[in-house]
Structure 1
Amino acid sequence: MLTVDRRTALAMLAAAPALTRAGVGRAAIQDAGRKLAVAARAQIGVTLAYDASYRSIGYPNGDVLRTSGVCSDVLIRAARDAWGVDLQQRVHEDMKAAFDAYPSRREWGLNSPDANIDHRRVLNLEVFLARQNARLALRAPRLLGGDAFENVAPGDILTWRLTGGRPHLGVALSGPDHVRVAHNIGEGVREEPLWRFKLHKPAGHYRWRA
């Protein structure tokens, strides 16, 4: 009969609460990701157009009409619906604290944050997510499409550079196998398999659970 000595038994008992907490933590992270994915998918059939024009919006919780938007709005709206998290406010506050960490001065000639547009720019969201320690390593950045993304989970945020270097963002709806993504690339929010992005250059993989 297999026996466990007293010292080993006490060590196992001492470790059990920590292991339980770790399991609960992983479950909570997975649940948060699934909620974000559900909220992103719910935008299909609601956001029917793409409109990148500059708009003055309220603060906090500002938004344009949900019938239109840009790729980043998929994440912004999903975070609000799933978690009650306002990325407009989060990004604005972080930019006030560390403006030079963001590309706004270099890319758009800004000297201070603009709460109307900052959070809707993919380049800013990439910096924000990296500053939240949400960035995951790409398998091989030189690969195209989805091949560079590893172990994608529901709710993960994926970014690319399109032809001409234009940034693009999508929210993973499933994974790690047969990954599907919600995104708005020009005709409203749609759900497509990751392989459809095969001609785009992967830029970032993020797992942010606010």
Structure 2
Amino acid sequence: MEKRKTLILVIIVSIMLAACSFLLFYLLRYQNTSASRMQNKYEGDIIAIRSTVDFDADGVDDQTDILDNAIEYVGTRPKYKSVYYASGYPDDEYGVCTDVVARALLGSGYDLQELVNRDIHEHPEDYDITKPDANIDFRRVKNLKVFFDHTAISLTLDPKEIDQWQGGDIVVYEHHVGIISDRRNRDGIPYLIHHSGEYQRYYEQDMLEKWPGKIIGHYRISE
């Protein structure tokens, strides 16, 4: 009987230790919660801008809406996989960097799949596309660069001009794209909300000027 009680006790303690270990791992790896986002080290006085446009008429301005939707999307912790979807937008738990932008805009009333496809047909000479495909064209960085050059407000490419970078802006690198966070490092440079690969630890990172690629575009959807 004593041996049985001891065995049961060992099993219970083992389960509790395993549960605690998993919880600790989860907190350390997935600490991108709303609480941790509030731990902003920047102590300056940059005022977050608000757009005068509320495109989807949901009571939230575009700038805030895009930021909120980007945070909500990466909060689902999408896994990285670059594949073709007949639906255009990924319909599973996977995605790539462009899907962060596409989902942020879709939740704000802007359907990039439709908008990019329309712009490609209206300005084919600006896109290096032989045969347009609405299901994938809006998920390519080079196409988004052209589209935003046509339709969005172009802003500074210098991360050190910190007051010119606002949460909800879009940044395009040579082979990457993301949304600017409202969280800033101690120098006032904002974090980057992005999706760069299967082993990416956090989706909101102090990477704006550290990403290994040149910034070639910085855009705001509306004023």
What residue in structure 1 maps to residue 114 of structure 2? 89
* Alignment: residue pair count: 164
- 2:181–2:193 CA contact under 8 A, matched in 1: yes
Cα distance in 2 for partners of 1:160, 1:27 equals 24
- 1:38-74 alpha-carbon deviations (Å, 9 max, x no partner): 10011224143111122222xxxx4112511110100
What residue in structure 1 maps to residue 52 of structure 2? 28
Partner secondary structure for residue 42 of structure 1: helix
1:119 to 138, 152, 164: 138
- 2:154–2:217 CA contact under 8 A, matched in 1: yes
**Alpha carbons of 1:133 and 1:183: their partners in 2 closer, same or farther (altered >3 Å)?**
closer
- 2:183–2:191 CA contact under 8 A, matched in 1: yes
What residue in structure 2 maps to residue 182 of structure 1? 193
Match runs of 1:1-210 below 5 Å: 27-28=51-52, 31-57=61-87, 62-81=88-107, 83-104=108-129, 110=130, 112-139=131-158, 146-147=159-160, 151-161=164-174, 167-174=175-182, 177-187=188-198, 190-195=203-208, 197-209=210-222
- Give the deviation of 1:97 after TM superposition: 1.1
Partner secondary structure for residue 28 of structure 1: coil
**Alpha carbons of 1:26 and 1:172: their partners in 2 closer, same or farther (altered >3 Å)?**
closer
Cα distance in 2 for partners of 1:200, 1:93 equals 29
Cα distance in 1 for partners of 2:91, 2:209 equals 28
- 2:113–2:134 CA contact under 8 A, matched in 1: yes
Partner secondary structure for residue 164 of structure 2: coil
Q: TM-score, normalization: structure 1?
A: 0.68
Percent identity between the aligned chains?
30
Q: Which runs of 5+ in 2 are unaligned?
A: 1-48, 54-59
- Give the deviation of 1:195 after TM superposition: 5.0
Question: Greater Rg, structure 1 or structure 2?
Answer: 2
Q: TM-score, normalization: structure 2?
A: 0.65
Cα distance in 2 for partners of 1:28, 1:77 equals 21
Cα distance in 2 for partners of 1:206, 1:56 equals 28
Q: Considering only aligned residues, what root-mean-square deviation do their CA atoms show, in Å?
A: 2.7
**1:135 partner amino acid:** S
